[in-house]
């Protein structure tokens, strides 16, 4: 996770969601970076090195800044809240009709765990607000929030 390079002008910013430890030149990585003129295998090797400690195939949002000289830096964000919600609620997917169907349940203590993990990427001032954001994500997936 490198910071932007000083004195270089950003030519393009590419946002992707790549599985942890599994970046390869196939879509979506190859076409997106190929259009930006980036050495695809360099990115794949660096990304896989950065994410090797994470659980394999965890979806990782990544923001890639491509500079005019075709060099690049990238920032790896935390996995989406929906990934954590499905994992902790032990669900294969959310509800296809969340307003009428309940896909599963998640405890408030589990929402707090997720909020603590995602705090760096959320626009919340404190943990209580972060929990509310994650609870909204759970409700929109058809996952019922229960006390506990």
Architecture of domain 10-76: 2-Layer Sandwich (3.30)
The domain locations on the chain are 10-76, 81-146
Three-state secondary structure string covering the chain: CCCCCCCCCEEEEEEEEEECCCCCCCCCHHHHHHHHCCCHHHHHHHHHHHCCCCCCCCEEEEEEEEECCCCEEEEECCCCHHHHHHHHCCCCCCCCCCCCCCCEEEEHHHHHHHHHHHHHHCCCCCHHHHHHHHHHHHHHCCEEEECC
Q: Which fold has domain 81-146?
A: Arc Repressor Mutant, subunit A (1.10.10)
pLDDT in single tens digits along all 148 residues of the chain: 566 666 789 899 999 999 999 999 988 899 999 998 889 999 999 999 999 999 988 999 999 999 999 899 999 999 999 999 999 989 998 888 888 888 899 999 999 999 999 999 888 889 999 999 999 999 999 999 998 7
pTM listed for this prediction:
0.83
């Amino acid at each position: 996770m490198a910071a932007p390079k000083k004195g270089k002008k950003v030519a393009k910013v590419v946002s992707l969601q790549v599985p942890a430890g599994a970046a390869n030149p196939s879509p979506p990585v190859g076409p997106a970076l190929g259009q930006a003129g980036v050495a695809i295998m360099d990115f794949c090797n660096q990304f896989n090195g950065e994410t090797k400690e994470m659980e394999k195939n965890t979806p990782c949002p990544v923001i890639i800044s491509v500079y005019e000289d075709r060099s690049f830096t990238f920032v790896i964000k935390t996995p989406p809240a929906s990934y954590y919600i499905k994992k902790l609620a032990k669900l294969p997917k959310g509800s296809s009709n969340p307003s009428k169907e309940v896909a599963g349940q998640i405890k408030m203590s589990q929402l707090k765990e997720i909020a603590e993990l995602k705090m760096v990427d959320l626009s919340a001032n404190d943990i209580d607000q972060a929990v509310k954001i994650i609870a909204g994500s759970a409700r929109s997936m058809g996952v019922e929030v229960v006390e506990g």
